[in-house]
Amino acid sequence: MQAYCFKCRKKVEIKNAERVTLKNGRPATRGVCPACGTKVFRIGQG
């Protein structure tokens, strides 16, 4: 799965991806950027 890294300014594969649920019940995926280690987040495809 891919997410947008704001530090690298490009889409990257999510490393250490984990499924999370937002307060409103929507699924999301959270992880880190493999290039720079910044947290990345993707809503909707959990």
What integer pLDDT is reported at residue 34 of this predicted model? 97
What integer pLDDT is reported at residue 10 of this predicted model? 97
What integer pLDDT is reported at residue 46 of this predicted model? 56
- Distance CA(22)–CA(13), nearest Å, equals 21
pLDDT tens per residue, the chain (46 residues)? Answer: 999 999 999 999 999 999 999 999 999 999 999 999 999 999 987 5
Amino acid identity for residue 12 in this structure: V
Number of domains making up the chain: 1
Tokens at residue 43, please? Answer: 């809503």
Domain extent for 6: 2-43
